[in-house]
Amino acid sequence: MSLDVVDLRTFYAAPLGRVAQRAIARIVRSWWHDTGGLAVAGLGYAIPFLEPFRDEAVRVIGLMPAEQGIVHWPAGGLSATALVEGGQLPLPDGSIDRLLLVHMLEPTEHPREVLAEVWRVLTPGGRMIAVTCNRRGMWARVDTTPFGSGQPFSKRQLQALLRETLFSPERFGEALYVPPFERRSLLKLAPFFERTGKRMALPGAGVLLVEATKQLYRPVMLRRRVPVRQAIPRLEPRLQGSFRRDNSFGDAADPVNR
């Protein structure tokens, strides 16, 4: 199920969306605290989390899938967003140092193709952060937010998907322990939910974050050598019957010799 850019923009402009943006951005920024001299890109609807990088990165762009739609960003000046196909990014090989995926893996039907294209455009040693809905969390069960659409992931599923597409997972994080409801009392307690959930490592966070590095070489699996059994038995010469002095074979019961 594809997400609509109008719904995404409306969600992040609402109080619950701003709470979600702050909780996720805090982790993203702590992992990428210095992007000076780097090229940063966001794929999906990542523009709410790209603003802190504009003052230090060489360039920051937002790539939005055609099924979702596009918005002008940043608000002032020239637009730094582009409409793309998830499996065909209009970027040269090895041109991006950091790439952030938000609302991208859950709605797509071909996540491996998306990650293969991300791998292509990342520089050697480049890093990506994928923000996905946690299938064990409450946010995946409520369809009133964008995190309730599409296919949620577990930590094990993300690990397997990344390794299949030649990424090495480095670290995982969780956010959105606050219930996904537009209630003022809950939103005021959002910082308490986040601190308590992380301190006690509670299960059921709404969002999983994973940082992974681009793996340059495909791992070679070692195979255990198994001795091959001899399929054909060893044959030895064997004489049948009696051997006569005239170097001819004969049978002891040959009537000629009687």
pLDDT at 233: 54
pLDDT at 85: 84
| Topology annotation, domain 5-214 | Rossmann fold (3.40.50)
Global pTM reads 0.81
Q: Do residues 35 and 57 make contact, with C-beta atoms less than 8 angstroms apart?
A: yes
pLDDT at 203: 85
CA distance 133 to 175: 10
Q: What is the mean pLDDT of each run of 10 residues along the chain (258 residues)?
A: 87 96 96 95 96 94 94 90 88 96 94 95 96 94 91 95 95 95 90 90 92 78 48 54 50 46
Residues 6+ positions from 69 with CB-CB distance below 8 Å: 4, 5, 6, 83
Residues 6+ positions from 170 with CB-CB distance below 8 Å: 127, 211, 212, 213
Question: % helix / strand / coil in the chain, to the nearest 5?
Answer: 30, 25, 45
- List strands edge to edge, sheet with 81-84: 81-84, 59-65, 39-44, 96-102, 122-133, 207-214, 167-175
63: how many CB neighbours lie within 10 A of its CB? 26
CA distance 258 to 104: 98
pLDDT at 219: 52
Distances (CA, A) of 184 to 143, 156, 159: 19, 34, 36
Q: Do residues 145 and 139 make contact, with C-beta atoms less than 8 angstroms apart?
A: yes
SS3 annotation, 109-154: CCHHHHHHHHHHHEEEEEEEEEEEEECCCHHHHCCCCHHHCCCCEC
